[in-house]
């Protein structure tokens, strides 16, 4: 599909995350310091929004609020149980004021 604009840089503050629906994909975009991350918004353990959970900046992880599983923002791998399957990660590019995600 290629790179798709998901939001403007100003739409996600540093230390925060937001969910965007792009071409039918729910994507959680996180902004930590100068870095940007994007993962599927749906927990791999149960159909629940990751963007509703806590963002762990130091660990570069996001926590599912349903059962507490955390996922690496870099690899999508679960870091804690009960999740055992990774979530998909997307490459993020900043172009001017646009945040682009490779779908």
**What string of pLDDT tens digits covers the 103 residues of the chain?**
689 999 999 999 999 999 999 888 899 999 999 999 999 999 999 889 999 999 999 999 999 999 999 999 999 999 999 999 999 999 999 999 999 999 8
Looking up residue 64, the CATH number of its domain turns out to be 2.102.10.10
CA–CA distances in Å: residue 1 to residues 26, 90, 102, 103: 15, 12, 8, 6
What is the residue range of 9's domain? 3-102
Select from 85, 32, 27, 87 the least CA-distant residue to 55: 32
The structural domain count of the chain equals 1
- Phi and psi (nearest 5°) for 7? -170, 180
């Amino acid at each position: 599909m290629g790179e798709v604009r998901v939001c403007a840089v100003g739409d996600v503050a540093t230390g925060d995350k937001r969910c965007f629906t792009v071409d039918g994909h729910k994507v959680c975009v996180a902004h930590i310091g100068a870095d940007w991350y994007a993962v599927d918004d749906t927990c791999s353990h149960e159909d629940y929004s990751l963007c509703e959970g806590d963002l762990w900046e130091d660990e570069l992880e996001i926590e599912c609020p349903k059962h507490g599983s955390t996922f690496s923002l870099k690899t999508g791998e679960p870091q804690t149980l009960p999740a055992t399957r990774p979530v998909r990660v997307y490459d993020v590019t900043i172009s001017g004021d646009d945040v682009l995600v490779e779908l």
